[in-house]
Amino acid sequence: MATLPLYAQFINLFAAFLLLLAFAMLAQRRVLSLINLFAMQGFALAVSTAIVAYGTHQSHLYWSAGLTLVLKVLLLPWLLHRLIRQLDVKWDVEGLINIPTTMLVGIVLVVFSFNLALPIAQLSHTVTRATLGIAMASVMLSFLMMITRRKAIPQVVGFLAMENGLFFAATSATYGMPMVVELGIALDVLVGMIILGVFFFQIREQFDSLDLKHLETLKENE
């Protein structure tokens, strides 16, 4: 660690912070706190991207950091908070399995992710290649959060957090994606969030709840 440049040490620090936030989101029971943790994850991702841009002189990553800050720290959390107020959502996050079991599964996924990323990181020549395992672990933990939640909004937050992990993985392996690709992904995420907001209102109007088990009941009736 001491032989690494100072900016690389900061990148590793923020990578560890991203992983801790992924575990915190996995264990979180309150939907408002879950959204706030997602905003914190977006901020950590934006700062780490800016540090990579400074340390590697990749100027396009400054735009990526700014886009991440606007979209994932300001705009998307604001949209989610607005949806919660309009839907009058005050419930806790419900999981299919209990929190201790979920955390144990998460630890297993982290170990698997580090072993999976090791040969890939050895092929990479970037200074951030050591954080590739953390990036893949964040993706796995976000996916686990998606499949272990019963409500629609926590599943959407899990999807958005998984996209954060994929973006961090791209930054770790190749110093980011081309700007046109990042803009396209950002637009897709924003449009998807708007469509999902309409979807939330339709579920609430039909079932007076955002629990997805009602959709399963509807399918069985058909």
pLDDT digit string, tens, across residues 121-177: 777 666 667 788 888 899 899 889 888 887 777 888 888 888 888 888 877 767 665
Query: Is residue 121 within 8 Å of 130, Cβ to Cβ?
Result: yes
Determine, yes or no, domain membership for 1: no
Q: Considering the chain, what percentage of its residues have pLDDT values greater than 70?
A: 69
pLDDT for the residue 198: 57
pLDDT for the residue 1: 45
Cα angle 33, 36, 41; round to 5 = 125
- Rounded CA separation 149/133 (Å): 25
What is the residue type of 219?
Answer: K
pLDDT for the residue 206: 53
Q: How many CA atoms lie within 13 A of 188 on its CB side?
A: 9
The tally of domains found in the chain comes to: 1
Any residues with CB less than 8 A from the CB of 85 and at least 6 apart, and which? none
Q: Which two tokens stand for residue 201?
A: 């209102």
Longest dimension (CA), the chain: 63
> When comparing pLDDT for 211 and 99, which is higher?
99
Any residues with CB less than 8 A from the CB of 26 and at least 6 apart, and which? 102, 103, 106, 141, 144, 145
Determine, yes or no, domain membership for 209: yes
pLDDT for the residue 71: 85
pLDDT at 209 over 90: no
Q: Which two tokens stand for residue 195?
A: 């469509």
pLDDT for the residue 219: 47
Which residues constitute the domain of residue 120? 6-221
Q: Chain-wide mean pLDDT for the chain?
A: 77
What is the residue type of 171?
Answer: T
Q: What is the pTM of this model?
A: 0.79
Query: Is residue 127 within 8 Å of 57, Cβ to Cβ?
Result: no
pLDDT for the residue 200: 59
Tens digits of per-residue pLDDT, 34-71?
Answer: 889 999 999 998 898 888 888 888 888 888 888 888 88
pLDDT band at 218 (very low <50, low <70, confident <90, very high): very low
Determine, yes or no, domain membership for 145: yes
Count of other CB atoms within 10 angstroms of residue 37: 21
pLDDT for the residue 110: 92
> What is the chain's alpha carbon radius of gyration, rounded to the nearest angstrom?
18
Determine, yes or no, domain membership for 25: yes
